[in-house]
Structure 1
Amino acid sequence: MPDSVDALEHPTTVQLRPRYEGSNICTWIGFKHVNYLVEEAVLEHLRRSGWPAGMLYEDFGLCVDIVSIDAAIVSATHIDDIVTARVVAEGKPVDGEIALTVGLDIHGSSTPVKTVSAKVRVALRHDPRGGGAAPVPQVLEPFTVKEIDRSSLVRVPVASTPPATVADGDELLAALTRDANAYGWKWRIPYFYCHFTERLQMSGYLRLMEEAVDLFLADRGISIKRLLDEQNWIPVVPKNSLVMLAEARMEEDIYTVLTVEDVFKRLIYTARMDCYVLRDGVPVHTATGRITHGYALIENRRDWSLAEFDDRMIQRLNGQHG
C-alpha cells in the first residue's frame, strides 16, 4: 500500500479489447461499452498505483465508485481492435475524489487513431456491510466518504424542478414532464445493475441511459428498428456524460426523464437524462447526464456516413407529430 497519493500521479498505459456484447451494429462498439473500456482503464490505473479495488474493499471496506464520466467519442471502435488506454491524474485529488483523464487509441496501422477522450471522477465509499475491516489508512482518508452525496459538489440546473413532496411516482413523473419535450417512466432497480451488494453503479446508469433513448424514440414513432428498416439509419453517439449525485439502492423504483434539449443543424440532437428516487414522498435527484446522438447511414459492413435529419425526424424530436 503506497503511503502517499503520488503513485496515482504516474500515468499508466494498458491494452484492452472491447467485449463482444457491445458490438451491436455491424462490428461497431456502442457508447456504453466504450465507457466500459474507460472504466477498465481506471481500475487498472488503481491496481498499478497499489490500490486495487478488490483489496480496498476486502481489507478496508472501501468501494471504488466512478461517480462521473464525460466522454467524447471521436472515431469508431470495432470488435477486434486493440485499444491502448492511457490514464493520467489531474493533479492531487480534489473535493474528496480522484480526478483522471483517459485517452483511448487504436493501433494496427502506422499511426495510432484517437477514439475516445474522457474525464472521470472516482470516490471511495466506506461500506459498513460485511463485518469488520481494518482502519482506513491515513493516506486514503481525504477521499473516503460515508455516503455518495455530491449535490453540494456538482451544481446541476434541473430541466424541470420537482415538487418538494409528492403523493406518488405518477405525480412526480407528471411534474417532471409537464410542458417539456420529455419522456419519463418508472423502473425497478434490479440487483444485477448494482455493485457492492446493493447500490446502483455507473455502468447501471449507462445501461439506463441507453434504454431511455430507446424508449423515447419508440414513443415518438421513430424507433431504432423502424428507421433501420425504412432508411438504413442507426444512432451514433459522439458525446455522453453521467454524473452521480446521490445513492440509488437495489429494488427502489427509479424515475427517469429524458428531455430533448437541442437539435443542431439537422445532424445531431442532445438529450438530458435525470433520475430520481422517492423516499417518504420526497424526490431525491440521484443522477443526471447528457447524450448527443446523430444517425449513421450504413454503407457497408464496416463504413457509414452521417445522415441529415429529414422533416419527420425533426418534427418527432421536437415533440411534433405532424
Structure 2
Amino acid sequence: MTGTSLTTARALPADAKALQEPTTVTLRPRFEGSNICTWIGFKHVDYLVEEAVLEHLRRNGWAAGRLYEEYGLCVDLVDIDAAILAATHIDDTVTARVHVPAQDTADGEITLAVTLHTDAPTPVKTATATVRVALRHDPRGGAAAPLPEPVLPYTTALVDRAARVRPTALPTVPATAADGPELLRALTAGANAHGWSRRVPYYHCHFTERLQMSGYLRMMEAAVDRFLDDRGISIKRLLDEQDWIPVVPRNSVSMLAEVRMEERIHTVLTVENVFKRLTYTARMDCYVLRGGVPVHTATGRITHGYAHIESRRDWNLVSFDDRMLDALNGRRP
C-alpha cells in the first residue's frame, strides 16, 4: 500500500495565540499504571499530563499527527516537571486543565502548565506539571508542505538543549573506555550511584527512530528499581517484610540531546539528598558514547518517600528506618 502524495495542506491558525486559550479535558488513567493496589504510579501520572498536552495542541489546530504528516514536524515533549499532590486510583475520572503559564518566555519552545484533578466524590487536585514542547523537523518521509509562519518560532532541526539546562559535571572518562562496563564504572566512580546500560529498543522511540519522553520515564522507573535492588532494599523485599511501598511526590526529566534507536544508552542514578528520615532525591543522567566521547542526553530528578499499606485503598507515610538510611547513603552491611 502506498500513501497519497502531498499536494496542499490545510491552514493552521494564523498565529500561536490559539495556544493561549486554556483547555479542559477528561481522562482516565491506564490500567498498566496501577502497580500497587489501585494506586497509579508517577510514570502514568506523567502520561496523563502528556495526553492533556497533546489534546490541547489538537483542539487548537496543532494536532501531532497533522503536524507530522503535512509538515514533517515532530511534537516532542522535551521537558517535564511534575509534582504529585494526592493519589490517583485506577477508576478515577481525571480532569486536566492546560494553559500557558504567566512566566512563559516564548524562547523557542511551547511552555504549558497542566493541573490534574480527580472528580469524585469531591474534586481533589492530584498533580501539577510544567511541560515544554519542541517541534522537531524530520527529513524522513518524503515531501512536506512549507512550514507555516505560526510554527516557525518553535521549530528546530535537532533537539539540542544542553545550553538550556544547568549542566552536571561530566565524570572523567578514560579515552580508552569502551561502550560497556568500563564506561559505566567511570560514570559512577566516586559517587553514591548505580548505573546500567541497555540498547534503546524501538518501542521506546517515536517518529520512526528517536527516543521519546515516555522512554526516559520508563528508564527512570527502571533505574530506581535497579538501584534499590542493588542496595538490598528492593521494592518486593520491603513489601514482603514491612508492607512498605515507594511514593513519588516529584519528578522531572529534561532532554539534552537526541538518542536514536538501537544506540547503547547508559543510565546513572545518583542519590543527591536524604531529607531527615522522610524523603530522598536522586538524579538520573543518561549518556551515549559517540566518537569515544560520552554525550549527556538527558537529566532528571525523582523524589521518593515510603508508605505503609493500611488497606486496599489507604496508606500512611512512614519514616525511614536505619536499614533504609544506610542503604540510601551507600553504607552497605
Question: Please, what TM-score do these two structures have when normalized by structure 1?
Answer: 0.97
Q: What is residue 107 of structure 2 aligned with on the other side?
A: 95
Q: What is residue 318 of structure 2 aligned with on the other side?
A: 307
- Residues 276 and 77 of structure 1: CA distance in aligned 2, closer, same or farther (over 3 Å): same
Contact 2:196–2:266 under 8 Å retained in 1: yes
Q: What is residue 119 of structure 2 aligned with on the other side?
A: 107
- Residues 127 and 307 of structure 1: CA distance in aligned 2, closer, same or farther (over 3 Å): same
Contact 1:18–1:29 under 8 Å retained in 2: yes
Q: Does 1:270 align with 2:286?
A: no
Contact 1:165–1:283 under 8 Å retained in 2: no
Instruction: Summarize deviations over 1:153-208 as a string: whole Å, max 9, x none.
Output: 222233x5343845313332222211110001111100000000000000000000
163-172 or 250-259, larger mean C-alpha shift: 163-172
- Residues 258 and 94 of structure 1: CA distance in aligned 2, closer, same or farther (over 3 Å): same
Q: What SS is found at the alignment partner of 2:186?
A: helix
Q: What SS is found at the alignment partner of 1:314?
A: helix
Q: Which amino acid aligns with 2:94?
A: V
Q: Which amino acid aligns with 1:156?
A: P
Aligned with residue 188 of structure 1, among 196, 199, 222 = 199
Q: Does 1:70 align with 2:81?
A: yes
For these two proteins, the number of residue pairs brought into alignment is 320
Q: What is residue 155 of structure 1 aligned with on the other side?
A: 166
Runs of 5+ consecutive residues of structure 1 not aligned to the other structure: none
Q: Distance in 1 between matches of 2:101 and 2:63?
A: 19
Structure 1 segments, 4+ long, off by >6 Å, are: none
Q: Which amino acid aligns with 1:104?
A: L
Contact 1:162–1:172 under 8 Å retained in 2: no
Query: Percent identity, aligned pairs only?
Result: 69
**Residue pairs, 1:129-278, within 5 angstroms:** 129-158=140-169, 160-163=170-173, 165-169=175-179, 170-278=181-289
Q: Which amino acid aligns with 1:180?
A: A
Q: Does 1:39 align with 2:50?
A: yes
Contact 1:93–1:143 under 8 Å retained in 2: no
Contact 1:220–1:316 under 8 Å retained in 2: yes
Q: Distance in 2 between matches of 1:73 and 1:166?
A: 43
Over aligned residue pairs, what C-alpha RMSD do you find? Answer: 1.2
Q: How much does 1:48 deviate?
A: 1.0
Runs of 5+ consecutive residues of structure 2 not aligned to the other structure: 1-11
168-177 or 82-91, larger mean C-alpha shift: 168-177
